Amino acid sequence: MNVIAAANTSITGWVVGYVITFVVVLVVVALVVPILVLAHSIGKEATMIDDSLTESVHNTAALKDLHTTIEHAEVITAGLHRGRTRLGG
């Protein structure tokens, strides 16, 4: 009788171990899946942001020549000022 009781205890221990392992795996999956979904969403947003920044770089490339434009405008306005001064205005 003791052998049968010992065998049942041994099997019960294995079943409890498997159940605990299964529960732990379910909890880990329940915690990891939302993180992976969020990471995927962030990845898609990052791609859209990168594309937008690339377009912004292209659209604002001409601003590097703005300093040259300002210098030319200053030369022109100085010339206009000299002309006005000579005309007595």
pTM above 0.85, yes or no: no
pLDDT tens figures, 30-53: 999 999 999 999 999 999 999 999
Tens of pLDDT, residue by residue over 46-76, are 999 999 999 999 999 888 888 999 999 999 9
N-terminal to C-terminal alpha carbon distance within the chain: 124
| Structural domain for 68, as ranges | 2-86
Domain count across the chain: 1
**Encoded tokens for 74:** 């200053």
Q: Residue 46 burial by CB count (10 A; 0-12/13-18/19+): exposed, middle or buried?
A: exposed
